[in-house]
Amino acid sequence: MLYYLFEFLDKAYDIPGAGVFRFLSFRAAMAIITSLVITLFLGKRIIALLLRMQVGETIRDLGLDGQAKKQGTPTMGGLIIIAAILIPTFLFTKLDNVYIITMIVSVIWLGIIGFVDDYIKVFKRDKEGLRAKSKLIGQVGLGVIIGSILYFNPNVVVRENSAVESSVVISQGGNIVDDINNSENIASIGVNVKSTKTTIPFFKNNEFEYADLIGWAGDHKSWMLPALFILMVIFIVTAVSNGANITDGIDGLATGTSAIVGTTLAVFAYVSGNTVFASYLNIMYIPNTGELMVFMSAFVGACVGFLWYNSYPAQVFMGDTGSLALGGIIAVFAIAIRKELLIPIICGVFLVENLSVMVQVSYFKYTRKKYGEGRRIFKMSPLHHHYQKLGYHESKIVTRFWIVGLMLAVLSVVTLKLR
């Protein structure tokens, strides 16, 4: 909203400084600062409210050290994260941008699913919460909506044959242009087209067209391609949101990991939405995705701010209200900027946590059927509980997982040039 206000003031009254809102870098900085302030100040009040309402976490006895101390810790703290993401988004982004609309829908949709899950656990005293089938239906529903928007909306396009001539001057006053609008005015060659292309890491010609998978379909291609794309979106949204949900098992783990992933995706959104950098890096230029950097700045600020209360020993848990929303945001964001095939690297921590549960459950069922008794690969799953059983302190586990997340983030950024 502030973007439109200051744009009007700049055009109508030529107020000095009003034009600064045109710059992505300024609005991204304001978004991250605002989300931090909201999280730190609003968070304290929400935690106090949750305590008064006795909205405490019911901890299952898993035989882990320090587990009893967490009993009754306020949950549903994801409300803090959601508020700290949405408020800066409404203030500093272009709300008519299709990608911003998509992200807002994702936050609210998964936030509601997570809230209902937490509400059932806390107020209905049902430890199982929202049934897995109901939760899955909600995730599939979001996947269908997001997949349909990204496939059918005419504003979701890529630039074919985008290039910037080497002789073009890309600086103003000695500074490299960092604003999407300015860079487009300086140089953008090519045609915007609808496409289901995405990025494959580590390959020289690192673009992959989903349509190639159904080249054999002939006349059926017209309906099979959108079906394939939407199914892909459903799978990714469901997998990543559940991965974040599973990772949220010890203090600060999911929050810090999400902040690292968000920062990485913000870098990809910036370079993919800027003609100068897209041309220099020889990557796909996706018009209008630069605006997503402002949204992701709010996301990162919300995660970092929430760590103030969620780091060990946690004063509040995000609950499914937060973890499902965080995972869904990451998934939809990656798909929007055509980096979904990088998710196994960027979200490597989420992936390993997810796989540890799948492997543990599958092996247990297999051995019970074959030997009459279930056997386990890990002492406990998800993986972070395995290390707790080995005697590692929560803080050490979280810090080491963050380090792994940072290494994966660096590797992901390196794929821009390493092919």
pLDDT number for residue 245: 93
User: What is the arithmetic mean of pLDDT over 373-380?
Assistant: 92
Lowest mean pLDDT, pick from 58-67, 90-99, 366-375:
58-67
Would residue 302 count as lying in a domain? yes
Would residue 10 count as lying in a domain? no
Would residue 351 count as lying in a domain? no
Q: How confident is the model at residue 80 (pLDDT cuts 50, 70, 90)?
A: very high
Would residue 225 count as lying in a domain? yes
pLDDT number for residue 111: 95
H/E/C letters for each residue in 287-315?
Answer: CCHHHHHHHHHHHHHHHHHHHHHHCCCCC
pLDDT number for residue 169: 36
pLDDT number for residue 115: 94
Q: How confident is the model at residue 128 (pLDDT cuts 50, 70, 90)?
A: confident
**In the chain, how many domains are there?**
1
Would residue 401 count as lying in a domain? no
pLDDT number for residue 342: 94
Would residue 91 count as lying in a domain? yes
pLDDT tens for 26-58 read 999 999 999 999 999 988 899 988 888 877 766
Enter the pTM of the model: 0.90
Would residue 253 count as lying in a domain? yes
Q: Take residue 41 and report the two structure tokens written for it.
A: 């100040």
Would residue 224 count as lying in a domain? yes
pLDDT number for residue 62: 64
User: What is the arithmetic mean of pLDDT over 362-383?
Assistant: 92
Q: Is the pLDDT of residue 99 over 80?
A: yes
Better-scored residue on pLDDT, 187 or 249? 249
Quote the mean pLDDT of the chain. 87
pLDDT number for residue 165: 40
pLDDT number for residue 186: 41
- How far is residue 285's CA from residue 349's CA, in Å, rounded to a whole number? 28
Domain with 124, as residue range(s), is 22-345
Q: How confident is the model at residue 363 (pLDDT cuts 50, 70, 90)?
A: very high
